[in-house]
Amino acid sequence: MKKLIIFCLSLLTATATQAQESTGSAKSIVDEVIWVVGDEAILLSDVERVRTQMGRVNGNPYCVIPENLAVQKLFIHQAEIDSIEANEETVNRYVEAQINDWIQTAGSKEKLEEYRNMTLTQIREETHDLVRNNQLMRQVREHLTKDIKVTPAEVRHYFKDMPEDSLPLIPTQVEVELLAEHPKIQQEEVDRIKGLLRDYTERINSGEMSFAVMARMFSEDVESARQGGEMDYMSKAELDPAFANVAWSLTDPKKVSKIVESQYGYHIIQLVDKRGDKLKLRHILKRPKVDAKDIDAALLRLDSITMDIRNGKFTFEDAASVLSDDKDSRNNRGLMFNVVYDEVSEERIRTSRFKMGELPAEIARVVEGLDVGEISKPFTMIDKAGKEQCCVIKLKSRIKAHPATVTEDFQVLSQIVRNRRSEEFLDNWIREKQRTTYVRINPEWVSCEFKYPGWIKE
């Protein structure tokens, strides 16, 4: 069977004009089967494609890239054995976002096709396969190492004799309290936005223009606008309550919803599909603009509140608990919380500590100039819902950058140890797979110094 596979794959080999750089041979080829791993072939064109996309490679690309592709095929084969599948929705979303970025960079679809010397369909198919394979490889790695745990004793032993200048540096972390106010929006502006959405609805219902085209042209939700207003399949719990209530009342994909207000602004919605308890929807979002005089009024009120805090009439925490428009921090007496993925527990956890890069950019800039316990001057920023808001912040604490210690930074150090053990496990797994997997390498490609020498069997 293997000989038949090799014979069939060898029929792909043909002569042409491209020199084979890996061996210095004068032989020229259009394409060639250079490796076979199991039942899978690695073509010279695969290597060239990756080389073009990766740019600079650490080492000889004609040795490094084929070996990386071979390792990837071991993981993908394991995904089939363990019935691990890629999430097609996630893959497709990433592919479309990537292609849209490429089109914007190139200037147009036609220029992208010219630059890549491929049709958009070919680019999409190639990108889909690359993204899918990378996702499968990541999932298999996580599956294989999911039971690896480290104990405090192992962490202490690993770092016990390590010089301080070799320990990982923990970046500066801060705790920040927030008091925010959304400036008043004038009724005339709300009426203007609703008038626009009613006009869009009339044009869609009359057949003048499709919902998708209108969304691309006018929606202020940039990410979904690129997809004609389409959002991924979502459950009711994943959406803003007001938005979800209207969306779940839709039954006819040709109908456009009434105007609905959510925390993000005003929408019209169209049903695309229903799958179990999830809906695929299109929407057009419009956000009312805030008048400059209303921003100034909100800043003035915050300035007055901070003056009262400094004069001892009440604390920042008391003011944030009662007056702040930011619901998340208001329930924590103004203290902002950061949600991060903890790779040790493999869970998302809440922490009050932020690295500077994890803060909203506007807040990070203000924090840089504050001492611990100091309250900022009022400033404006865009919140996570895309709305303009006026804020003051208080710097509660600052933990300066420092070499990690087991007592203070156990989570960071334990993850380093776990990563090391995981890499050792996967390294041994690859070497064992080499031993039990059929591998054939074109004789002209065996002179490389591979990371895993077991590809070449004696």
- What is the domain range of residue 239? 187-286
Asked whether residue 59 falls in the same domain as residue 79, the answer is: yes
Instruction: Determine the pLDDT at residue 15.
Output: 29
User: For residue 19, what are the CA distances in angstroms to 15, 30, 195, 306, 307?
Assistant: 10, 9, 64, 72, 75
**275 and 385 fall within a common domain:** no
Shared domain check, 140 and 25: yes
Instruction: Work out how many domains the chain is built from and give that number.
Output: 3
Burial-class residue 123 by CB neighbours within 10 Å (0-12, 13-18, 19+): buried
What local confidence, expressed as pLDDT, does residue 26 receive? 33
The answer to the question of residue 416 being in a domain is: no
Q: What is the pLDDT of residue 195?
A: 96
The tokens describing 287, both together, are 């956000």
Does residue 290 contact residue 183 with C-beta atoms inside 8 Å? yes
Give domain status of residue 350, yes or no: yes
pLDDT digits (tens, 9 = 90+) for 316-330: 999 999 999 998 899
Q: Note whether 230 and 252 are same-domain residues.
A: yes
Whether 216 and 229 share a structural domain: yes
Residue at 161 is within a domain: no
Instruction: Supply angle C-alpha 260, 206, 255, rounded to 5.
Output: 40
Residue 325 sits in the same domain as residue 448: no
Is 62 within the bounds of a domain? yes
Is 430 inside a domain boundary?
no
Do 259 and 375 belong to one domain? no
Do 140 and 75 touch, CB atoms closer than 8 A? Answer: yes
Res 411: pLDDT: 82
From 236, 266, 286, the end of a domain falls on 286
pLDDT of res. 173: 93
CATH number of the domain at 126, please: 1.10.4030
Q: Are 316 and 296 in contact (CB under 8 A)?
A: no
Could you tell me if 143 and 84 are in contact, meaning their C-beta atoms sit under 8 angstroms apart?
A: yes
pLDDT for 458: 64
Tell me the pairing of strands 347-351 and 354-355. Answer: unpaired
Instruction: Please give the Cα distance from 201 to 225 (Å, whole number).
Output: 16
Check whether residue 368 and residue 445 sit in a common domain: no
| 126 and 16 inside one domain | yes
179 and 320 share a domain? yes
Beta-carbon neighbour count of residue 147 at 10 Å?
7
Q: Cα separation of 319 and 334, whole Å? A: 8
426 domain-assigned: no
Q: 8 and 124 in one domain?
A: yes
180 and 262 fall within a common domain: no
Domain limit, last residue, from 242, 259, 286: 286
Question: What CATH number does the domain containing 238 carry?
Answer: 3.10.50.40
Task: Spell out, as residue ranges, where the chain has pLDDT lower than 70.
Answer: 1-30, 55, 341-348, 458
DSSP line for 12-68: T-EEEEEEETTTTEEEEEEE-EEEEETTEEEEHHHHHHHHHHH-S-SS-HHHHHHHH
**Where among 234, 252, 286 does a domain terminate?**
286
